[in-house]
């Protein structure tokens, strides 16, 4: 089964699969990002929009959130829940982000990066749509080992959706045009951050 079909098939039940403790963890992680009010944030691989209310609250009414996903049913679930004047939904792939160069201040990608078909191209696309000095954040509310073990145990379409080891992640993001790359991989959190050169 194609990954897009896999996620579309999960869309209706997706929110019921996310535990309250994970939502709290994500809220803490978004809070720690200290997004500037008024900034424009891309939520890449938004899914059913789990991060959307957190991002909208952080950037305020003068900011903007663009939510992108390649699975139309996942996007449809997000659209049912959230309609804000400063929120835009776009169907598109991480490998070919439907935004102009330097269109956003921040790219936030939660629980989605290892699913992208071409990790290097996705990282380059994130750099392209970010303004100079803009920040990329790739995060998961679990450690790398937890996520990779989970995907292997689920098997099927997500079996090969693995977060690469630290030095490979550094290489992917520095080759894509990021500097000051940091990775934090601890129980209950994986967090990569970098600034566009
Ligand atoms: C595990 S879900 C996470 C969704 C959401 N960010 C969350 O935290 O609940 C991964 C999402 O990435 C999307 N996705 C996977 N590959 C993609 C790609 N190449 N381009 C865009 N979206 C993709 C899937 O459709 C799915 O909605």
Question: What 3-state DSSP class applies to 74?
Answer: helix
49 C-alpha vs ligand 1 centroid, how far in Å? 10
pLDDT digits (tens, 9 = 90+) for 140-161: 999 999 999 999 999 999 999 9
Residue where the block lists tokens 């004047």: 85
Give the pLDDT of the chain (197 residues) as one tens digit per residue. Answer: 799 999 999 999 999 999 999 999 999 999 999 999 999 999 999 999 999 999 999 999 999 999 999 999 999 999 999 999 999 999 999 999 999 999 999 999 999 999 999 999 999 999 999 999 999 999 999 999 999 999 999 999 999 999 999 999 999 999 999 999 999 999 999 999 999 99
Structural domain total, the chain: 1
Q: Which residues span the domain enclosing 57?
A: 3-196
The pLDDT score that the predictor gives to residue 59 is: 98
Determine if ligand 1 sits within 6 Å of the CB of residue 135: no
Q: Using CA atoms, how far apart are residues 17 and 134, in angstroms rounded to an integer?
A: 32
Q: Which helix (H) or strand (E) holds 175?
A: helix 166-176
Ligand 1 atom nearest residue 7's Cα? 25
The pLDDT score that the predictor gives to residue 161 is: 98
Ligand 1 atom nearest residue 18's Cα? 9
Using an 8 Å Cβ cutoff, are 65 and 32 in contact? no
Q: Using CA atoms, how far apart are residues 183 and 106, in angstroms rounded to an integer?
A: 17
User: How many CB atoms are located within 10 Å of the residue 32 CB?
Assistant: 12
195 C-alpha vs ligand 1 centroid, how far in Å? 22
Using an 8 Å Cβ cutoff, are 45 and 75 in contact? no
The pLDDT score that the predictor gives to residue 172 is: 98
Determine if ligand 1 sits within 6 Å of the CB of residue 39: no
CATH number, position 162: 3.40.50.150
């Amino acid at each position: 089964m194609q990954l897009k079909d896999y996620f579309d098939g999960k869309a209706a039940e997706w929110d019921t699969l996310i535990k309250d403790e994970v939502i709290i963890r994500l809220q803490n992680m978004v809070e720690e990002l200290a997004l500037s009010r008024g900034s424009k944030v891309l939520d890449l691989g938004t899914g059913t929009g789990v991060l959307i209310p957190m991002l909208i609250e952080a950037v305020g009414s003068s900011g903007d959130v663009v939510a992108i996903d390649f699975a139309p049913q996942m996007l449809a679930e997000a659209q049912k829940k959230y309609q804000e004047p400063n929120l835009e939904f776009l169907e598109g792939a991480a490998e070919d982000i439907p935004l102009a160069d330097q269109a956003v201040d921040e790219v936030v990608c939660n629980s989605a990066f290892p699913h992208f078909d071409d990790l290097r191209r996705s990282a380059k696309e994130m750099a392209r749509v970010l303004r100079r000095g803009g920040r990329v954040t790739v995060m998961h509310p679990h450690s790398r080992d937890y996520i990779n073990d989970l995907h292997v145990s689920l098997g099927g379409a997500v079996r090969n959706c693995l977060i690469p080891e630290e030095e490979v992640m550094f290489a992917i993001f520095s080759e894509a045009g990021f500097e000051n790359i940091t990775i934090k991989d601890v129980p209950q959190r994986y967090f990569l951050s970098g600034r566009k050169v």
